[in-house]
Amino acid sequence: MHPFSSRFLLTLSALSAAVALHGWDAPGHRIVNQLALDSLPADFPAFVREPAAVGRIAFLAGEPDRWSHALDLPLKHDSWPEHYLDVEELADAGLDARAVSSLRYDFVAAFTAGRAAHPENFQHADALNVVYHTDKLPGLLPWVVTEYYGRLKAAFSSLQVYQELGTPEEIANAQADVIYTMGIMGHFVGDLFQPLHTSVHHDGWVGPNPHGYFTGKFFHSWIDSGLIAKARITVADLAPRVVPAEPLPTAAREDGRDPVFVTVMDSLLEQNKLVEPLYQLEKAGKLGRGEAPVAPEGRALIENQLHQGGELLGALWLTAWKSAPPEEFLRKQLLKRQAAAAAAK
């Protein structure tokens, strides 16, 4: 086969697989964002509950996957690793998942060094990651969630100042920034609670398989959307289980790691424990693939994941709002503007 044809077929195959590797698909992600909105306390800023804002936050839940549908390689290269973390690869690189740095690039440097020190553990690369030039990374999901938390906190900080010293147009724009960040952030929190986004076994079991788990393709897409559609899981089914959001711990840690990152990473590691039970349910025919109905156990697992995603997302939104200080640089600039306007009168 001509080398160009070989590369083309590899790329086509990988792009086809990419359609099947998104967390929850749009309906599931919307459910997570909507459950999180339902969990917010009555004193949370009221503008996020306005119908247009609610619709926008739900719509934005799917935006990062729409970026993944784009054909631009630089965009895929940048965004693809943000949707997952293959936990097993951390140990392969000699890293402790519960001790890694909460700073993205410090982690990348440590992982790169560990990968170079243990090449025997990295003999096979996922074809999709090769096409996107992301095969040297295990994924960055918990870092991305933490970074979006920081962005949301910053958006609330700016909004405070604009509400004090800004124009109506500036306040509206600052509110739009909050809404946008909440919606996008929700996507990645949803990914966090799709167990297959935490494992090298993200679309069929790979490597030694003594229990005979499913090794074909499109298992991931079935969990993302097929099962939800077949079981007809809706936000109305889960709404009665919503509990009021509570702020997360934000006190400084002795190890210097960001406390929100630690919460997020701990949550991801808990989801990773569900990877094998998910494959066990598939093997037992309880996930509704093919002609089989979705068994109560299969439905319960997926509903629980969506519910937990909404719960953590609401807590992150609430914590960002409550812990956001006024943005002092912006405040100084607006005070200068105010003084200049007064002097010009």
106 dihedral zone (left: phi>0; alpha: psi -120 to 50; beta): alpha
Maximum CA extent, the chain? 81
How confident is the model at residue 127, as a pLDDT? 85
Tell me the CATH number for domain 3-343. Answer: 1.10.575.10
How confident is the model at residue 22, as a pLDDT? 54
Bridge partners of 85? Answer: 139
How confident is the model at residue 23, as a pLDDT? 61
Sequence-separated (6 or more) residues with CB below 8 Å from residue 227: 233, 287, 288, 294, 298, 299, 302
Is the full-model pTM beyond 0.85? yes
Mean pLDDT per segment of 10 residues, for the chain of length 345 residues? 34 40 76 97 97 97 90 92 97 98 98 97 88 95 98 98 98 98 98 97 95 94 92 95 97 96 98 98 95 95 97 98 96 97 92
Burial of 75 (0-12, 13-18, 19+ CB in 10 A): middle
Alpha-helical segments (H) within the chain: 3-18, 25-39, 51-60, 63-69, 73-79, 87-92, 104-117, 127-132, 141-165, 168-192, 219-221, 227-231, 235-238, 259-272, 275-283, 296-322, 328-343
How confident is the model at residue 225, as a pLDDT? 87
How confident is the model at residue 17, as a pLDDT? 42
Q: Residue ranges per domain, the chain?
A: 3-343
How confident is the model at residue 10, as a pLDDT? 36
- Cα(89)–Cα(206) distance, integer angstroms: 13
